[in-house]
């Protein structure tokens, strides 16, 4: 990533370039990314190809000011951290659903070592509702975050991530390349068995909680309060995408099952 692209990325998430990427700077970047670059699967339902090429990741999230799902968001964030001299390892993970583990490469996890320091951090800006800040990857103690109580636990050579006592995903410890996730990325956007093909979602962290547009329902959480608003007609849906997520579309990405 060249200097111009780095500065454009930082401008996109509203963060000044840190003098050094320390623990506080990483936390600031992580939270800002979650608040500005939404978790969304709209490309699937707009007929747009999803590419994991570096230039396409940056073009979508920075230039076009869109979001993406797991592989896109973490793929781009890894490039940003590497440009700030962090050591970033990409790891495959499997998401828990209905008590079962999903397929291999179901999720992408980033383990980050900062330029100054030996601590490793789990950075996840692409799992929807999750931790607002990075988690200590090597700690097996409970970690408190605005998103909940997190524990990383050893699991048969892998690492389970639990939130409020519930398993979220299991991380393999072998380093991977982003291209390794290509086949599962394709499956996620094409298979009728993938939950991403079943409905549209666009969601981001807010200072008060979270805002999500699921299909045509706008969901706002503020602390323990939750409100839902069904949006009709199409103009109201398009206006919500622009107002709450900064995404300008020419048509509503209704789910095609």
Q: Are residues 172 and 197 in the same domain?
A: no
Same domain, 171 and 92: yes
In this structure, what CATH number is given to the domain that contains residue 34? 3.30.2140.20
Query: How many Å apart are CA 145 and CA 124, to the nearest integer?
Result: 13
User: Does the residue 188 lie in any domain?
Assistant: no
Helices (H) and strands (E) in the chain, counts: 7, 14
Among residues 89, 74, 77, the alpha carbon closest in space to that of 26 is found at 77
Q: What is the pLDDT of residue 255?
A: 73
Whether 48 and 146 map to the same domain: the answer is yes
Last residue in a domain, options 183, 210, 226: 183
87-130 pLDDT, tens digit each: 999 999 999 988 789 889 999 999 999 998 889 999 999 998 89
Do 65 and 153 belong to one domain?
Answer: yes
171 shares its domain with 231: no
**Element holding 123 (H helix, E strand):** strand 120-123
Same-domain check for residues 199 and 177: no
Quick check: helix, strand or coil at residue 5? helix
Q: pLDDT for 137-175, tens place per residue?
A: 999 999 999 999 999 999 999 999 999 999 999 999 999
Contacts 24+ apart (CB under 8 A), 234-243: 237/213, 240/213, 241/202, 241/213
The domain total for the chain is: 2
Q: State mean pLDDT over 249-255.
A: 90
In this structure, are 218 and 160 located in the same domain?
Answer: no
Predicted confidence at residue 128, as pLDDT, reads 85
> Looking at the structure, do residues 27 and 97 belong to the same domain, yes or no?
yes
In this predicted structure, what is the pLDDT of residue 24? 96
Give 59's contacts (C-beta < 8 A, 6+ positions apart): none
User: Is residue 255 domain-resident?
Assistant: no
Per-residue pLDDT tens over the stretch 35-64: 999 999 999 999 999 999 999 999 999 999
Backbone phi, psi, residue 54, to 5°: -55, -45
Q: Are residues 227 and 118 in the same domain?
A: no
Residue range(s) defining the domain that contains residue 92: 3-183
- DSSP 8-state symbol, 147: T
- Within this chain, do residues 107 and 178 fall inside the same structural domain, yes or no? yes
CB 215 within 8 A of CB 200: yes
251 domain residue, yes or no: no
**CA–CA gap between residue 66 and residue 202 (Å, rounded):** 10
Please name the residues in contact with 100: beta carbons below 8 A apart, sequence gap of 6 or more. Answer: none
Is pLDDT at 256 greater than 90 in this prediction?
Answer: no
Q: Are residues 156 and 118 in the same domain?
A: yes
Considering the domain architecture, whether residues 74 and 131 belong to the same structural domain is answered as yes
């Amino acid at each position: 990533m060249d200097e111009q692209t780095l500065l454009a990325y930082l401008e996109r998430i509203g963060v000044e370039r840190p003098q050094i990427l320390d623990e506080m700077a990483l936390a600031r970047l992580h939270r800002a990314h979650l608040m500005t670059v939404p978790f969304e699967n709209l490309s699937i339902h707009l007929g747009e190809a999803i590419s994991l090429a570096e230039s396409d990741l940056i073009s979508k999230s920075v230039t076009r000011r869109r979001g993406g799902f797991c592989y896109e968001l973490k793929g781009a964030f890894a490039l940003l951290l590497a440009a700030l001299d962090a050591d970033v390892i990409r790891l495959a993970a499997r998401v828990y659903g209905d008590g079962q583990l999903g397929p291999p490469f179901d999720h992408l996890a980033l383990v980050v070592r900062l330029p100054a320091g030996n601590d490793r951090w789990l950075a996840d800006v692409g799992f929807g509702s999750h931790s607002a800040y990075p988690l200590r990857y090597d700690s097996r103690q409970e970690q408190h975050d605005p998103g909940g109580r997190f524990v990383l636990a050893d699991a048969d050579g892998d690492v389970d991530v639990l939130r409020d006592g519930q398993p979220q995903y299991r991380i393999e410890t072998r380093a991977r390349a982003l291209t390794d996730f290509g086949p599962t990325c394709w499956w996620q956007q094409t298979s009728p068995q993938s939950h991403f093909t079943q409905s549209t979602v666009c969601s981001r962290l807010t200072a008060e909680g979270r805002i999500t547009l699921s299909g045509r329902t706008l969901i706002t959480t503020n602390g323990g309060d939750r409100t839902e608003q069904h949006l009709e007609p199409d103009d109201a849906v398009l206006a919500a995408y622009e107002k709450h997520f900064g995404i300008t579309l020419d048509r509503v990405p209704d789910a095609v099952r």
